[in-house]
Structure formats: structure tokens, C-alpha cells
């Protein structure tokens, strides 16, 4: 199984504008709709019995809304982790930092988007050793979790677990005006 993270944004707005040597380098972020597919790998916590998952790689779809035309961009997630809440087994969180790296000529600009999510498990379906959790909640991007730059209410989320591999799928609409 390929370990990937796919994120798709629609109706994007530019939130950061950088001018370098009279050249426009735009880092676009924020959209009316959000969807992501995150391939995860289970990691053992050396201090507890908690099960945690980490994303391995980030891939955006062909309609790359983060990268301005003519720019070379790459993406990473650092410190990403999906965990189950230790005091409430119906809650999960997925947190980390989305890194958007724009290469234009000799200039490299990295924009960091810390994110946090609150996911509530509404139903669990188990079949043949696989588990599917139905999720709702929200995902927020920005340094201030109480006043995020962008926030999306998740209307359709699932976590599919098969052994030590998992796939987290999230989609929803912007709650940021």
C-alpha cells in the first residue's frame, strides 16, 4: 500500500503575498471546500499503550492550488500524528504542520501552516478484521487555535484501519468568513 496524503481545496483565496526581486511568489491557502486522504502507519508509543498513526508522505492532486503558475512547489507534513483521546474513546485528533515549499529561480520560500483537528467517532463498522470509523468534527489551520486562519467543518470523515495501516479521509466546508 502506498503511503500518501492527498489534499484538495476548491475556490482558493490567496492569503500570503511575497514579492522578491520584483517577482510574485504567491502561496495560496484557504478554500470553500476541503478534502484530504491521508495514508497512515501505526507507531508504538514507548511510554504508553496508546495507538498512534503518522503520515508518511504528502501528495497534492494535479490541480495544485497552492502553487502559483511558473513556480516549483513541494509539500511536507512535519510532526503529524493521529491519536485517540486518552479520556474519551469517541474522540480523535490529527495535528501537525503543513509545509508548502515554493521554489522560484534561486529563491526558496517555505510557508508553515500548523493544523489541528477535533474528530468525533459517530459509528464503528467492523468486517473481516478491518474497522471503519465514521467521523465528524473540524480541522483548523493557523498558529492560534482559538482564532484560526482557516477552519473547515467536516461533513464526511472516515478512518479505515487494517492492521498497522490506516487511511483517514476528511472533507467539509469552510467555516471561516
pLDDT tens digits for range 76-87: 788 999 998 888
Number of separate domains in the chain: 1
pLDDT at position 69 is 61
Among residues 39, 40, 54, which one has the least CA distance to residue 97? 54
| Chain segment 20-51, per-residue pLDDT in tens | 333 333 333 445 777 778 888 988 877 777 77
Q: Do 41 and 1 contact (CB within 8 A), yes or no?
A: no
Q: How many CB atoms lie within 10 A of CB 40?
A: 24
Q: Report the alpha-carbon distance of residue 35 to residue 38 in Å, rounded.
A: 10
What are the Cα distances from residue 117, in Å, to 5, 18, 120? 15, 28, 10
In this prediction, the residues of the chain whose per-residue pLDDT falls under 50 are 1-5, 11-30, 60-65
Structural domain harbouring 31: 5-174
Amino acid at each position: 500500500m502506498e503511503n500518501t496524503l492527498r489534499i484538495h481545496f476548491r475556490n482558493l483565496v490567496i492569503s500570503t503575498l511575497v514579492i522578491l526581486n520584483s517577482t510574485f511568489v504567491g502561496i495560496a491557502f484557504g478554500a470553500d471546500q476541503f478534502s484530504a486522504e491521508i495514508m497512515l502507519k501505526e507507531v508504538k508509543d514507548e511510554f504508553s499503550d496508546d495507538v498512534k498513526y503518522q503520515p508518511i508522505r504528502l501528495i497534492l492532486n494535479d490541480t495544485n492550488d497552492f502553487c502559483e503558475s511558473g513556480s516549483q512547489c513541494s509539500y511536507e507534513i512535519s510532526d503529524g500524528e493521529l491519536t485517540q483521546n486518552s479520556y474519551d474513546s469517541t474522540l480523535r485528533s490529527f495535528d501537525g504542520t503543513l509545509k508548502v515549499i515554493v521554489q522560484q529561480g534561486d529563491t526558496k520560500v517555505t510557508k508553515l501552516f500548523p493544523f489541528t483537528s477535533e474528530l468525533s467517532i459517530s459509528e464503528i463498522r467492523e468486517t473481516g478484521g478491518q474497522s471503519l470509523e465514521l467521523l465528524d468534527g473540524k480541522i483548523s489551520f493557523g498558529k492560534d487555535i482559538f482564532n484560526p486562519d482557516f477552519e473547515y467543518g467536516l461533513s464526511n470523515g472516515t478512518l479505515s484501519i487494517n492492521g498497522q495501516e490506516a487511511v483517514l479521509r476528511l472533507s467539509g466546508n469552510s467555516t471561516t468568513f
